[in-house]
Amino acid sequence: MVSEHLARPLVDAFGRVHRDLRISLTDKCNLRCAYCMPPEGVPWLSKNNILTTDELVRVAQVAAALGIVEVRLTGGEPLLRQDAVDVVRRMAAIEGATGPLEVSMTTNGMALPRVAADLAEAGLARVNISLDTLNKERFHELTHRDRLADVLAGIDAALAAGLNPVKINAVAMRDVNDDELVDLVRFAARSGCEMRFIEQMPLDAGHLWSRVAMVRGEEILAQLEQAFTLTPLPGRGAAPAERFLVDGGPTTVGVIRSVTKPFCGACDRVRITADGQLRNCLFAREESDLLTVLRSGGTDDDVAELMHRCIAGKLPGHGINDPGFLQPDRPMSAIGG
């Protein structure tokens, strides 16, 4: 149990209250998306350094005592972890100050036909599914895997299991899929999903990201506005996506402009990597070693104190647009989305 003097909200020096915890279950993935890792993959983390389920649950319990209300399970591909359903079940049973934790997941969807119903029964609230193209050959070229049909089946399985809203995430890439943005929105509308477009961020393993090549959010919106009437939706809060009604609704589309229109001022997220490193920003250059605290006899107060210290050191923004910006050493797959 966390003592009373530490059981207080995670507030940084700029007054941002942190309520959203992203936990990576594994750094492994069964796709090789070009913006994340090279075709040959990257060195995986040692199995001995991956947080156990008991450790994950303990951290989530402490986080709930500090005001966290949502846990997003990420990877890599989180469903490559064999006990993912058990992780969901145990985390969804954790009580915070406002009730049970809301547990969601970001996945490539390929395992959902097998486990979507079990995840829903275990208490998973909703899923975000990554899908950058509807073209079979292009999907193969982008991911180095011929698995588009499996992702589409995963979307169907998530909808059938009631994991709503099912959100589809696409990274907009110049001369790769930027001619499919309208088609993706139409696909999402037919499927009953919510579409999200994301500006490509400097988080690839090869450090090949280019600001010039990046498709800007304003370009995404301009292309969509040629096909649809977009009506801005109010009440964004700390959400990363600007949301719009499509042709009056009910379909919505979101655009996440992490680079050109950062939302750092409202950020309420903190991240834990699969190997137990606490990160106060997706682009943080420093991490706090939670794994050692957990495995060296640290108390819940020790975990809480480390979380408070980590958040207290959070910078006002990610710094992508600063002249001295340095890309994180870890790629997205090793950080967790």
Q: Does the pLDDT at position 149 exceed 70? A: yes
Nearest to 41 by CA among 49, 55, 29: 29
Q: Does the pLDDT at position 205 exceed 60? A: no
Least confident of 86-90, 152-156, 170-174, 293-297: 170-174
CA contacts within 13 A on the Cβ side of 136:
3
Give per-residue pLDDT as tens, 272-291. Answer: 999 999 999 887 778 999 99
Give per-residue pLDDT as tens, 223-246. Answer: 999 999 999 998 888 788 999 999
CA distance 99 to 125: 14
CA distance 241 to 256: 5
* Confidence band of 104 (pLDDT split at 50, 70, 90): very high
Two structure tokens written together for 66:
């500090």
Question: Beta-carbon neighbour count of residue 206 at 10 Å?
Answer: 12
CA dist 150 → 110, 131, 157, 191 (Å):
5, 11, 10, 15
Asked whether 16 and 40 are in contact (CB, 8 A), the reply is no
Q: What separation, in Å, do the N-terminal and C-terminal C-alpha atoms of the chain show?
A: 28
Give per-residue pLDDT as tens, 6-58. Answer: 999 999 999 999 999 999 999 998 888 877 766 666 777 888 999 999 999 99
